[in-house]
Amino acid sequence: MAISITRPAADDASEVPVEPPHGRSGEEAELELVAYAGAGACPEYGDGELRYGAQALASSSSPDGDGTDRATAPPAEVEPAPRTGRVPVSSDWMAGIPSHVDIRDMSIPGTHESAAYQENVGSAGYALCQSRDLEWQLNNGVRYLDVRLRRMDSKVFSVHHGDYYLKQMFGDVLQTCRSFLGNHRSETILMRISQTKSNASAQDFAQTFNHYLDTYWGGSGMRNNFYIGSTFPTLGQARGKIVLMSGWPYLGYGLHFSNENVFDLQDVASSPTPPSKKDAVRNHLNRAVNTASKQKMFVNHTSAYGTPVIGLTPWGHAEQLNPYTLGLLNGVAAGKTTGVIAMDYIDRPAGSTSGGKNTLLLPSSS
C-alpha cells in the first residue's frame, strides 16, 4: 500500500509502557481452549468462547455488508501519479513520529473486514476480504483494524462478516493485538468495532465488551491495553494501546465512530460501479489532504462488494481500486496527511493475485 507519512527525525516524548506479551501463539491458545472445553471456564478466554465458536460456524449461511454514501466532496484535485519508489516496510514505523502529533493528523494504513481472510463454504468469495491474517497485517504496517462482532452472551463475542463466522473469537483478535503491541511499544492500533449478525441493544453489547475489559485474560481484564477516551489522543497517549472506536452501536465510551461530527467516513460499499467508487475514494482523499489540523478523523474505505448475481466480489473491486488508490497516494504532496485508508486485500496493492511484504509500498521519502 502506498501511504504518505510525515516522518520527523526523532520522537520527542517518552513511550507509554505496556505489559509484556503473553508469550503464547494463537495456535497454542486455541489448543488450550480445546483442553478447557467441558471443564468449566477457560481462565483466559472466558466461559463459552469455544462453544459459541462452534455455534457461530454452524449458523453461517450467507454474506452481507454495510455502507453508506457519505462522500459529498468538492471536485477532485488529487490525481494518480507514477510510483515514486520504495522504502522498507517497518513494524515500528510510528517510532519516527513525535508523540505530540494528534492521530487525526496522520496517514494510517488500514484494512476493511480485517479478520475476513479465511474462505467460508458457500460464500463464493463474497465473505473474503483479505488474504493475510492479522499478525501479518500488523507486522507489515497496518494500524487500523475493522472488526465485526456477534454478541453470543454477556461474556462472548464471535467475529463475523455478516452471516459468516470467521473461525475466530474476539479473544483471538485481542491476543494478536496485545502480543504485537507488547513487542512494538512505539505503535498503536486503531480498532473499529461494530455489531453484525446479532441484534443486541447498546447496553447489552457494552456489557459483553466490559467483560473483555475487566474480567477477561485470567480475571485481570484488558482495560490497561485500551485507550477508551472519547477525545482523540495524541500518538504519545496511544502508544502501546488499542484505540477503541465503536459505532452501530456506540458503547458509550471510546471514539464515537458512527457520529458524523467525529468521523468523516467514506464507505460507498454496496454494489457501486468501479468508476463511481473511484470517484468516492478520490473525492474523500482530496478533502482529507487539503484539511489541515483536522477536527475529524478521515476514514476512506476503498472496499466494495456486489451480489453473486449482479456484482463483483470484494476482490473484483480491489483488483481495480487498489492500483488506482496506489496511484492517488503516490500523488499526495509531501507534508500532507490522508487519515485512514482502509483496503481489501492490502497485500495486493498493484491488483495482482499474489502479494507479500515487497508489494506493500510506501512512497520514497527522498
pLDDT confidence tier of residue 135, bands split at 50, 70 and 90: very high
Where in the chain are the domains?
26-359
- State pLDDT tens for residues 79-122: 655 433 333 467 999 999 999 999 999 999 999 999 999 988 78
Its CATH architecture, for the domain 26-359, is Alpha-Beta Barrel (3.20)
Mean predicted confidence (pLDDT) in 24-35: 33
What are 154-159's contacts with CB under 8 Å, separation 24+? 154/204, 154/207, 154/208, 154/211, 155/46, 155/47, 155/48, 155/208, 155/211, 155/215, 156/46, 156/47, 156/48, 156/49, 156/52, 156/208, 157/208, 157/209, 157/212, 158/49, 158/52, 158/53, 158/56, 159/115
Which range among 52-66, 240-254, 339-353 has the greatest average pLDDT? 240-254
Pick from 145-149, 161-165, 166-170, 305-309: least confident:
305-309
- Whether residue 31 is predicted with pLDDT greater than 80 in this model: the reply is no
pLDDT of 225 above 50: yes
pLDDT at 156 over 70: yes
% of the chain beyond a pLDDT of 70: 70
